[in-house]
Chain A
């Protein structure tokens, strides 16, 4: 018991000393100019200023966050809703699998970020292009994971089902899908983090609002405090999203692997 407290204390101490060293290097000793690394206090105060201030990029912080979240969730949900059934169908129907797999294998080798230019060229720099991009990037892990999940269902379980006279659709709904659920959720988790990352990349290249756009504009005018703030927000929102998904997973998946 006292050992856990000791390690907790070390953690707290290390974090605080990290902040203090950072503060000393920037504000006290001025080892680095403020346009390349802001002090933690400056970053913290920028957060409160940026909530209501539109400078320098034309929108307040909540608008940027909402814009990014909206696009990310829209793309992620459509990718998951279409990708998971496709993976299940591919694993369940042999002919369909043989027909679609080569095409899918070809498309999935291209990383999500490689899709950005063509999407922007075809759909413009608005929401459409970004949703399409995130759709592609979250679609692929969903398909792969639900496919593997169904494929690794134990044959013995199927035999038991068949012995008791289960129909094909019953085999799928009662045996294969429940077995595959943990895999499907892993796929969703991977998709979500990939989706969030490719959204930031897309916003760096072409956007009018969003967190990626905010840090890109801040770079061009040398406002490192906004960049660091934006990065921390991107990190923590990504973390919160994956915690939420884990919560949903624990509700749905019974037993576990």
Chain B
């Protein structure tokens, strides 16, 4: 029974194509018939422009370079927030003293969305790269801390007891039991934090920047260039999808024991 094209799969693809086609058709017709055509381009035009701008520069760089600039910013900010979030989260989850010191301040900062830091960040660091790293950091940090903390708290007491009975010292207990059992929680936090980081970088670039994916769509808006906005949105969607899948692949590698168990 190794037939790849089962009846179900063919049916699924067929209905999927019908769905996508009908959306494109509605788009095409509404552009042609109604007054929407004055601001919205035809779908084919967007695809064409997407292909052209991968080679021809938009502003100073090509579409691909803009995407890479945004990704680089996300990478720096996200690494910072990930590492420091995991450290603080584990410390707050394992030690009641650290938790009671840090939690009142943390709880005050946590509900403020990363986007709301933009004005203050610009006042503090100017409009350079540091501002963007800071905004991405603030956007992703809280989520990692919250998830890591709950992971570090939910360590199975029986496992810790067993390790102690078998003569594990504090360090072994920490690295062999606490860390592995909170990894799934940490990953859930990192996953959310990565998508928030991607959103934060867009917002930061839209407010002040001269390159990046957010710059493309905001310049499109300022010039009334709808094609450029839609091309930018497609590239943002592609990158977002890629990031989410990347995290899922890494998680599958690192927590394979958990996924098999589910």
Interface residues of A (CB under 8 A from B): 7-8, 10-12, 14-15, 18, 35-37, 95, 98-103, 106, 109-118, 120-122, 193, 196-198, 200-201, 204-205, 212, 215-216, 218-219, 222, 224, 227-228, 230-232, 234-236, 238-239, 242
Contacts and interface: CB of A to CB of B under 8 A. Distances in A.
A106 B101 CA distance: 44
Nearest to A37: B124
Nearest to B105: A18
A197 B97 CA distance: 32
- Give the 6 A-B residue pairs with the shortest CB-CB distance, closest first: A117-B221, A98-B15, A219-B119, A235-B112, A197-B113, A109-B237
A200 B115 CA distance: 7
Contacts of A198: 115
B202 A219 contact: no
Looking at B20, B199, B203, which has the most chain A CB atoms within 10 Å of its CB? B203
B101 to A, nearest CB: 4
B11 interface: yes
Nearest to B228: A117
Interface in B107-122: 108-120, 122
A14 B101 contact: yes
Interface residues on chain B, size class: 35 or more
A205 B206 contact: yes
B207 A114 contact: no
21 contacts: A10-B100, A11-B103, A14-B102, A15-B104, A98-B19, A101-B16, A110-B240, A116-B206, A116-B217, A118-B233, A198-B115, A200-B115, A204-B118, A204-B207, A215-B116, A227-B120, A231-B112, A232-B108, A234-B112, A239-B111, A242-B111
B206 A99 contact: no
Contacts of B100: 7-8, 10-11, 14
Contacts of A238: 111-113
B18 interface: yes
Contacts of A15: 104-105
Given A98-B15, A116-B206, A118-B221, 14 more contacts: A99-B19, A100-B19, A101-B19, A109-B238, A117-B229, A118-B217, A121-B221, A122-B39, A201-B206, A215-B116, A219-B123, A224-B120, A234-B116, A238-B111
A234 B117 CA distance: 11
Contacts of A197: 113-116, 199
